[in-house]
Amino acid sequence: RSRAHAVTDRHSAAMTTVKRNTDLKKVKFGTTDMMVTQVCAGTMTWGSYNADESQAHAQLDKLWTLGVNFIDTAELYPVAWNYGALTERWIGNWLTKRIADGTVERSKLYIATKVNPGGVGNEHPTRAKQVHGYDEEIVEWSCRKSIERMNCGYIDLYQIHWPSRDTPLMSTPTFRPADENGKIKNRPMGWHDRGGQEDFDRTIKSIMKLFELGLIRHWGVSNENAFGITMLCQTAIRLGCPLPVSCQNDFSILNQTYEEDTWEAAYRFGIVGLPYGALSGGTLTGKYFDKSHPQYIAKDEAERPLDKCRHRVSSRFQPRYGCSQAMAATRECVELAERWGITPAELAIAWSIARPCNANGSVIIGTTTARQVEECVGAALLELPDELMKEVDVIHEKYRNPCMYYTEKEIWQNLPGLPPPASEPEPEREQ
């Protein structure tokens, strides 16, 4: 039998319980004075997968009631379709209403948003959806528009959504620059520059202007690598700009590439984790295992039946999360969670919180129902024992970063003998 079975079989006879606290912990967010909850409200599906504004407001109400004081959004949102501006507008409508009725005090709610170099959602009269390199004019415009849409007065954490330079993004850690014709593999969106010193100077000067205007309190990066973090920080030091305080990269049990050289760069400059993708687009909840583990999709059957879930509605959007290798690893995560008496979603989120790269940071949770909010926030109450963390390590060593590809996307997606995306794999045969 495999080593993985040898480790996990120790819990087959007697299940060990996981400690569950009663109070939602807050941490000092990196080098800032922000005391934030260890989970941050993700919002990118509000306006697409959540078609009604009332659904977003119900989730926001539940988040606030449960004590979550940190929200992450972007001018780009919602995603998959209906891109841009709408999510921020819905948040603004909720915030205006809740401040007016005394439920929310603006100073006690931390709002993070992002500017993207594709110009999606900036609503600029002449530069909308035009690729840019984070110049002062467009960055100030985008920031002001986000504040206007959310009616929030200022932004607590303003983030660069992804690099404007010619580097691959999101689904692969493998670097390839643009060729002589300007084409680049493994990057789904356009690029603006080659990542020279003048490009980093331009970005930092734009951020400095936002500080000077009093529009932002802190800034961060997203979908960045070690080179980008180092260059941005060194440039900020030289120009006298505050350093970025956080990095929002894709990070989960199924994708631990951030913990390679990117985390070292972040760590050396005092940057904390604000990861997205802890549930791998819902895969790690176990809901796509509707045949062998039907209880997970059953929890949302009324509001979010399986045919309404992300990987069934739009399989081409973020297909990395539902690839067959990721599903095989997820099956073992689901079984591991069950042996320890917690849900797969709880395991995935609590594991992300417990990783050293996210110490004094916050893990973004993405939800589409108020019930999902309760489960995801509840995960932050768990304290996973070292033995359970090591059992996740065993799965990771068996399936190294299964939702990332290292050569070409087409090769990865068309490996022979693999089932369709987001479908339940056949059980592993005993050796």
Check whether 310 has a pLDDT greater than 50. Answer: yes
Tell me, what amino acid is at 152? C
What would the mean pLDDT of 270-289 be, rounded to a whole number? 94
Burial classification of residue 36, based on how many CB atoms lie within 10 Å of its CB (0-12 exposed, 13-18 middle, 19 or more buried)? buried
- Would you say 124 and 186 are in contact if contact means Cβ atoms under 8 Å apart? no
Q: What angle do CA 13, 16, 21 make, to 5 degrees?
A: 165
Q: Write out pLDDT tens, residues 361-377.
A: 999 999 999 999 999 99
CA 226 to chain centre: 18
Q: What are phi and psi of 364, to 5 degrees?
A: -75, 130
Q: What sign results for the dihedral spanned by CA atoms 340, 342, 344, 350?
A: negative
Number of CB atoms found within 10 A of residue 5's CB: 14
Taking 70 as the threshold, does the pLDDT of residue 3 lie above it? no
Q: What residues have CB less than 8 Å from 54, skipping those under 6 apart? A: none
Q: With beta carbons less than 8 A apart as the criterion, state whether 395 and 332 touch.
A: yes
Please tell me the predicted confidence (pLDDT) of residue 417. Answer: 54
Lowest mean pLDDT among 142-146, 236-240, 424-428: 424-428
How many Å apart are CA 23 and CA 378, to the nearest integer?
Answer: 10
Q: Are strands 70-72 and 246-248 parallel, antiparallel or unpaired?
A: unpaired
Task: Yes or no: say if 234 and 261 are a contact pair by the CB < 8 Å rule.
Answer: no
Q: Count Cβ atoms below 10 Å from residue 303 Cβ, excluding itself.
A: 13
**Whether the predicted pLDDT of 327 surpasses 80:** yes
pLDDT in tens, 105-116: 999 999 999 999
pTM of the entire structure? 0.92
Q: Which residues does 343 contact at the CB level (< 8 Å), separation at least 6?
A: 285, 286, 296, 337, 375
pLDDT tops 90 at residue 312: no
- Tokens 């984790």, residue? 273
Tell me the C-alpha distance between 158 and 209, whole Å: 12
**How many residues does the structure list for the chain?**
431
Phi, psi of 43 (to 5 degrees): -135, 5
Which candidate, 239, 227, 235, places its Cα nearest to that of 266? 227
> Any residues with CB less than 8 A from the CB of 296 and at least 6 apart, and which?
285, 286, 287, 289, 290, 334, 343, 344, 345
Residue 54: predicted pLDDT: 98
The strand pair at 246-248 and 272-273 is best described as parallel
At 51 the pLDDT is: 95
**How far is the CA of 329 from the CAs of 93, 100, 107, in angstroms?**
40, 47, 42
Would you state the pLDDT for residue 8? 43
- In DSSP notation, 322-356 reads GSHHHHHHHHHHHHHHHHTTS-HHHHHHHHHHHSG
pLDDT digits (tens, 9 = 90+) for 216-238: 999 999 999 999 999 999 999 99
User: Are 147 and 214 in contact, with CB atoms under 8 Å apart?
Assistant: no
Give residue 373's Cα distance to chain centre.
Answer: 15
pLDDT tens track for 83-93 = 999 999 999 99
Element (H, E) at 99: helix 86-100
294: Cβ–Cβ under 8 A, 6 or more apart, which residues?
Answer: none
In the prediction, which pLDDT does 301 show? Answer: 85
Burial class (CB in 10 A: 0-12, 13-18, 19+), 20: middle
Specify whether the CB–CB gap between 27 and 357 falls below 8 A: no
**Token pair belonging to 141:** 């415009």
Other CB atoms within 10 Å distance of the CB of residue 233: 22
